[in-house]
Amino acid sequence: MTAESFVLSIAASLIATILAILIATLFSARARGMVTLILGRLYDFDIDAVFQSSKDAHNDIAIAIRRAGCVRILVGRGNELQLPAFAPLFDDSADSRRRDVKVLLPADIQVPAVFDWTGQREAELAEFDRTFKAGLLRSQIEVNAQFLRGQEWAGLTVRRYRAPHFGRLILTERTAYLALYSSAAHGRDSTVYKFRRGDFYDGLARLFDLVWEGSAPAGEVDGIQIEPMLAGNGSQRSAKRETRTSSSRASAKSEASTR
């Protein structure tokens, strides 16, 4: 073999290897994950994996939850809480009961002078999905709230937040999963980013804690105790309760001024 043919054979082997890696990366989720992990370690970036959708991230999230002792979840709707990946949080095993679980759901009751973030998200969804109108998103959120009420145990705490529906966040002691919602797509179709412990993880954990501090315990809206309800009659009950509260305050002021 001549020197020229030897160099050509090496070049051909290198080209074939590079093409094989590119093809594997394009068509294999596992290969894409490995490339992402290697580049993340190489450039000291906290990202461990990128999943094209919630469905692609399902198995990875399930493994993380099974291994976790502390789980924090912020969702814009909460349908995923009833998927198999989250089942270990709600079964009757001793391991489930030992977990510390915090869940943030959007508040479903509208309050005067407070921006309706759920309505804003539903308006976005209605632009490309005609089924989202007349309070459908609000009712879906409340169905998931009802599901959580049926799962009550000492380690589970649920709060309702008033903030933009920016995405879905899942935190364990080791990893964070973030899906940022688009205004033109369902949350389930959003890319999911997996982060290991580091600056990004710390920032996401702080974001969760800030929203948690500003939220109300499940069953309360701005300090007012409410009854479990389904959307539809919820706003009417809330309005009646608010009217009664305002009337009581007015009576108290009237009596005080008379005295």
Q: What is the pLDDT of residues 215-233, one digit of tens each?
A: 988 665 544 444 443 333 4
- CB-side exposure of 95: number of CA atoms within 13 Å? 10
CATH number of 46-232: 3.30.870.10
pLDDT attached to residue 246 = 44
pLDDT value of position 39 = 52
pLDDT at residue 76 above 60? Answer: yes
In the predicted structure, residue 126 carries a pLDDT above the cut 80: yes
Section 157-172 average pLDDT: 94
The answer, as to whether pTM is greater than 0.75, is no
Helix (H, G, I), strand (E, B) or coil at 225: strand
Q: Cα–Cα distance between 16 and 139 in angstroms, integer?
A: 54
- Check residues 44 and 126 and name the one with the higher pLDDT: 126
Ordered by start, the domain boundaries in the chain are 11-44, 46-232
For the cut 90, the answer to whether the pLDDT of residue 105 exceeds it is yes
Contacting residues for 143 by C-beta, under 8 A, at least 6 apart: 230
Q: What is the pLDDT of residue 44?
A: 57
Query: Average pLDDT over the chain, rounded to whole?
Result: 76
CA 37 to each of CA 46, 165, 225: distance values in angstroms, whole numbers, following the listed order: 9, 29, 47
Considering only 6-10, 102-106, 187-191, which range has the smallest mean pLDDT? Answer: 6-10
What is the DSSP secondary-structure string of 75-101? -SS-GGGGSGGGGGGTSSSHHHHH-EE
pLDDT attached to residue 45: 64
Confidence of residue 166 (pLDDT cuts 50, 70, 90): very high
Pairing of strands 175-180, 167-171: antiparallel
Cβ contact 106:139 at 8 Å: no
